[in-house]
């Protein structure tokens, strides 16, 4: 059985400050080679997500590793002790030629490793984003199988990896909550197609994009439904499941921070791999980061997910729209402002365009939105953390229907997450915004309900929060006068230790 990594470093561009190993906050595609090596050798993170989805990528990654750091990888081989996991493009939403290029890198890297007497293929498992059906997972594996069956004396495909494992990434609240059914069908199709069951599965639940589309609380509830159902699926199929979760630093994107490790371990019991994004690695003291990573590797594998009864699951399903509908209603109206601010959020990686030749857009309802990181950065910089939107109205409705205890049992640290976000709330900005657009009154209702139902006052609590408050006032004033706010957005990110 292969080693399952507790921590997977990703290339998510949410760091506000610069990496400890780099001269600037922006990390180029070229610099990601060094970054990956240091995640392995210095931070002790033994899995790194090499991202082909929506960004430029260095296709010679394995060649460069074995050229620059051969002695390290000879002692700590890729595919055995350290893992380079591609997030491949989903051909349903991105151009299929990029998938073909990713496949060829996997094939040729295995041939290179074999020629150098390594025992394991460097890349044998890939993440499939936006997974919606069991059939599309099988289609990717069949495509890879057909590719390596090509016979030519110069290509020598038989001398390469022959089977590709897939990590299905579920990115919508509905798909996450119902992902066990997709996995069960996939196990059946896998046996029918390849003649054997998969030895294990690593279902991967997103945290940022479902929150962007449906709000904070629905995303966490859907995750808890999924984790419970995975334990039951494991018992029914005898296939081991090692769930993964895409956690960022801010509560809206996962609340996994070096200074919040106790809550994260409790909240995400049952998850076997957490993503360690850029802000976690670079916006906190290095000594603390390393200490917390060691603890995650030790404690995360021991935690088990809570199993909910069918009655509890049904109630949780009924709870989701109580939060989702008010969130979506507000965000759809906020979209023009969010998009305008997001264009001034500092770039941290070489991302492709959202739309056009290479990309695709995220959105809510009838509007397009930026990616989750600039989305969060935009709202936090205005003093309106996205965690608050729809949440107050949702809590009020849930308690009215008698769902409060079910909510508390599923989202263990909701109050703590709202307290964190609420420290960066600018009440004055919200009041000024409401004078010009009436839909802001819905968010004022969220604030009133949160303060009443959870029993605390939102707003800055210490000097750091007060400094953030003053900066968000400047952001609002400059925004009204059509002035540049890019530097101010970065400053606010430094204070909250995450750009977005």
Confidence of residue 362 (pLDDT cuts 50, 70, 90): low
* C-alpha distances in Å from residue 58, one per residue of 100, 215, 357: 15, 34, 19
Structure tokens at 267: 């909240």
**What's residue 444's pLDDT?**
98
Q: Give the pLDDT confidence of 313-350 residue by residue, as tens digits.
A: 999 999 999 999 999 999 999 999 999 999 999 999 98
* pLDDT beyond 50 at 360: no
Closest CA to 370 of 231, 209, 142, 261: 209
Are the C-beta atoms of 330 and 442 separated by less than 8 Å?
yes
pLDDT beyond 60 at 354? no
Q: Is the pLDDT of residue 355 over 50?
A: no
* Residue at token pair 């657009």: 437
Whether the per-residue pLDDT at 159 is higher than 70: the answer is yes
The pLDDT, as a whole number, for residue 361 is 53
Q: Is the pLDDT of residue 27 over 50?
A: yes
**Mean of per-residue pLDDT scores for the chain:** 95
**pLDDT tens digits for range 218-275:** 999 999 999 999 999 999 999 999 999 999 999 999 999 999 999 999 999 999 999 9
More confident residue, 436 or 151: 436
Split at pLDDT 50, 70, 90, the class of 205 is: very high
Poorest-confidence range of 46-60, 102-116, 322-336, 428-442?
Answer: 46-60
**pLDDT at 96 > cutoff 80:** no
What pLDDT is recorded for position 363? 65
Cα distance between residue 274 and residue 277, in whole Å: 9
- pLDDT confidence of residue 366: 73
pLDDT by residue (tens digit) across 442-482?
Answer: 999 999 999 999 999 999 999 999 999 999 999 999 999 99
CB atoms within 10 A of CB 74: 12
Average pLDDT in the 192-207 region?
Answer: 97
User: Rounded to an integer, what distance in angstroms lies between the CA atom of residue 324 and that of residue 222?
Assistant: 12
Q: Taking a C-beta distance cutoff of 8 angstroms, is the pair 421, 251 a contact?
A: yes
pTM, full prediction: 0.96
Query: What was the pLDDT predicted at 359?
Result: 38
**pLDDT score of 251:** 98
Q: Specify the long-range contacts of residues 310-315, CB closer than 8 Å, at least 24 apart.
A: 312/406, 312/409, 313/225, 313/228, 313/229, 315/403, 315/406
- Statement: residue 126 has pLDDT above 60: yes
Domains and CATH numbers, the chain: 7-302 (3.20.20.60), 313-496 (no CATH)
The residue ranking higher by pLDDT, 299 or 350, is 299
Asked whether residue 286 carries a pLDDT value surpassing 80, the answer given is: yes
165 phi and psi angles, rounded to 5 deg: -85, 145
Residue 358 has pLDDT above 50, yes or no: no
User: Rounded to 10 degrees, what is the CA torsion of 132, 135, 138, 142?
Assistant: -120
* Cα–Cα dist 404/407, whole Å: 5
Nearest Cα to Cα of residue 36 among 56, 58, 4: 58
pLDDT for 152 equals 84
Of 46, 119, 87, 76, residue with least CA distance to 301: 46
Burial 3-22 (b: 16+ CB within 10 A, else e): ebbbbbbbbbbbbbbebeeb
For 321, how many CA atoms within 13 A lie in the half-sphere containing its CB? 5
- pLDDT at residue 229 in the model: 98
Residue 352 pLDDT class (50, 70, 90 cuts): low
* Predicted confidence (pLDDT) at residue 431 exceeds the cutoff of 70: yes
Q: Are strands 273-276 and 362-364 parallel, antiparallel or unpaired?
A: unpaired
Question: Which structure tokens are listed for 162?
Answer: 């022959």
């Amino acid at each position: 059985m292969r080693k399952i990594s507790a921590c997977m470093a990703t290339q998510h561009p949410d760091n506000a400050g610069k990496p400890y190993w780099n001269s600037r906050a922006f990390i180029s595609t070229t610099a990601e080679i060094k970054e990956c090596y240091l995640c392995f050798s210095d931070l002790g993170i033994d899995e790194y997500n090499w991202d082909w989805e929506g960004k430029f990528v260095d296709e010679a990654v394995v060649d460069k590793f074995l050229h620059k750091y051969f002695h390290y990888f000879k002692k700590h081989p890729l595919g055995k002790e350290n893992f380079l996991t591609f997030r491949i493009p989903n051909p349903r939403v991105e151009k299929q030629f990029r998938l073909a290029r990713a496949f060829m890198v996997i094939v040729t890297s295995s041939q290179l490793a074999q020629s150098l007497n390594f025992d394991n293929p460097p890349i044998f498992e890939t993440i499939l984003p936006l997974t919606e059906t069991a059939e599309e997972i099988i289609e990717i594996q069949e495509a890879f199988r057909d590719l390596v069956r090509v016979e030519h004396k110069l290509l020598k495909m038989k001398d390469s990896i022959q089977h590709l494992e897939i990590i299905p990434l579920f990115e919508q609240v509905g798909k996450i909550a119902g992902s066990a059914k997709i996995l069960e069908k996939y196990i059946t199709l896998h046996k029918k197609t390849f003649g054997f069951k998969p030895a294990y599965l690593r279902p991967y639940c997103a945290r940022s994009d479902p929150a962007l589309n449906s709000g904070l609380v629905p995303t966490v509830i859907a995750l808890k439904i999924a984790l419970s159902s995975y334990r039951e699926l494991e018992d029914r199929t005898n296939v081991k499941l090692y769930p993964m979760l895409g956690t960022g630093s801010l509560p809206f994107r996962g609340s996994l921070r070096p200074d919040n490790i106790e809550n994260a371990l409790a909240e995400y019991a049952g998850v076997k791999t957490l993503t360690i994004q850029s802000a976690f690695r670079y916006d906190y003291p290095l000594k603390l980061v390393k200490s917390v990573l060691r603890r995650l590797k030790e404690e995360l594998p021991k935690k088990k997910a809570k199993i909910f009864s069918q009655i509890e699951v049904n109630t949780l399903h009924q709870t989701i729209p109580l939060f989702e509908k008010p969130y979506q209603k507000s965000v759809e109206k906020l979209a023009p402002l969010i998009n305008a601010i997001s264009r001034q959020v500092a770039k941290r990686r070489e991302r492709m365009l959202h739309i056009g030749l290479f990309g695709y857009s995220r959105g809510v309802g009838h509007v397009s939105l930026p990616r989750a990181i600039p989305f969060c950065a935009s709202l936090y910089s205005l003093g309106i953390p996205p965690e608050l939107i729809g949440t107050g109205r949702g809590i009020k409705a849930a308690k009215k229907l008698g769902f409060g205890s079910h909510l508390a049992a599923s989202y263990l640290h909701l109050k703590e997450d709202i307290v964190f976000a609420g420290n960066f709330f600018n009440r004055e900005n919200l009041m000024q915004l409401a004078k010009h657009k009436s839909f802001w009154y819905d968010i004022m209702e969220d604030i009133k309900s949160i303060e009443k139902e959870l029993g605390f006052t939102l707003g800055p609590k210490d000097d750091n929060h007060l400094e953030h408050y003053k900066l968000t006032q400047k952001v609002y004033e400059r925004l009204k006068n059509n002035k540049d706010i890019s530097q101010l957005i970065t400053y606010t990110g430094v204070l909250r230790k995450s750009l977005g």
